[in-house]
Amino acid sequence: MTRVVLMEDYLDHARTLDCVKELAERCELRIFTDKAKSEAELASRLAGAQIAITIRDRVMFTESVLSRLPDLKLLSVCGPRLDPHVDLPAATRAGILVCRPQALDVPQVIHRATAELVWALILGLARHTVQNDAHMRSGGWQSRIGFGLAGKTLGVIGLGRVGSPVAQMGVAMDMKVLAWSPRLTQERASLWGAQAVSLQELLRQSHVVSLHANATAQSRSMIGREEFAMMRSDALFINTARAAIVDEQALREALDAGTIAGAGLDVFWGEPPPVDHWTRTHEKVLLQPHMGGFTHEGYEWLLQPAVRNVLAYLDGKPTDIMNPELLPNVSRVTAP
């Protein structure tokens, strides 16, 4: 029977999906719910597997890893991107087909879910929700006073598919909304009730700064010491985009020094972060475990196409292949 490994389903939610149940009926399916601690452990988990399914960019399939997997014939990727987690040329040299959904339009429900999480972080920080909950559970009563958002200023860095609903929700909260993107026009900003300003002006004026920039070589560490120094001392900083856009040490220093008042993070510089990572214990940080789009609807949207690609391969009809030059050499794999 064909052995299939689904990598790092941290939520242990995949098995609830109908497509995964169908796959489990046709093959020997193993699901891992934690992160391999080393390349050797990763190779051990995949030993003997003909097919691997990887959720987004949680596992790095480098040339070194792929060279240790002689039985692997198909790597099915969730989501629309291969970079930086799959070395496609190395996979091709190893004779491993790589497939990913090529016509995968991210639905609005994913963007809205991330925007909703942004606001969970903003509200949680503004009203000290976690600290007040913990204080009550320990027998206490009122301990910390927060601040209201109406009349305050929200700064949105990146007015795209997530940033625009975040801005829209800010307007609904009766906030003044400022926005900056490299090519943002006032006309487009106005569509979402925002005012287009420079990044420097946004940082100086905003009580809440929410980051939604794309992760590129140019945007790496674009928010650093200089940028945090421009912000208000009572400002909250929210990042649900990518950790690499923010200088980690600069953020820690800004929180420690009181340069900013707090941070809400859904993304980290290594995921999951080590158990002793400073963000896990910092009283000014509110954490989420990279859950932006991971509602039930979002999980199904992400995983179902990758599983369907595996089922198509088992039927001898590979789809969404990224290295089609290998197809003439592919023998059909069947699973009872």
pTM of the model: 0.83
Catalytic residue flag (residue 85): no
Residue among 287, 263, 146 at smallest CA distance from 209: 263
Domain span at 209: 108-287
How many angstroms separate the CA atoms of 199 and 153, rounded?
14
Of 201, 271, 297, 300, the catalytic one is 271
Given the structure tokens 């009872």, which residue do they identify? Answer: 336
How many angstroms separate the CA atoms of 136 and 253, rounded?
30
How many angstroms separate the CA atoms of 299 and 296, rounded?
5
Residues 47 and 128 in one domain: no
Number of compact structural domains in the chain: 2
Residues 45 and 192 in one domain: no
Residues 163 and 228 in one domain: yes
Catalytic residue flag (residue 290): yes
**CATH code, domain carrying 25:** 3.40.50.720
Residues 121 and 45 in one domain: no
Residues 68 and 52 in one domain: yes
Residues 77 and 117 in one domain: no
Quickly count helices (H) and strands (E) in the chain: 12, 12
Of 3, 207, 242, 308, the catalytic one is 242
> Which residues on neighbouring strands pair with residue 54, listed in sequence order?
7, 77
Residue among 249, 256, 162 at smallest CA distance from 210: 162
Query: CB-based contacts of 281: which residues, under 8 Å, 6+ apart?
Result: none
Catalytic residue flag (residue 39): no
Of 3, 112, 128, 290, the catalytic one is 290
Q: Going residue by residue through the chain (336 aa), what tens digit of pLDDT does each one get?
A: 899 999 989 889 999 999 999 999 999 999 999 989 999 999 999 999 999 999 877 788 999 999 999 999 999 999 877 877 899 999 999 999 999 987 666 667 788 999 999 999 999 999 999 999 999 999 999 999 999 999 999 999 999 999 999 999 999 999 999 999 999 999 999 999 999 999 999 999 999 999 999 888 888 999 999 999 999 999 999 999 999 999 999 999 999 999 999 999 999 999 889 999 999 999 999 999 999 988 888 888 889 999 999 999 999 999 999 999 999 877 555 444
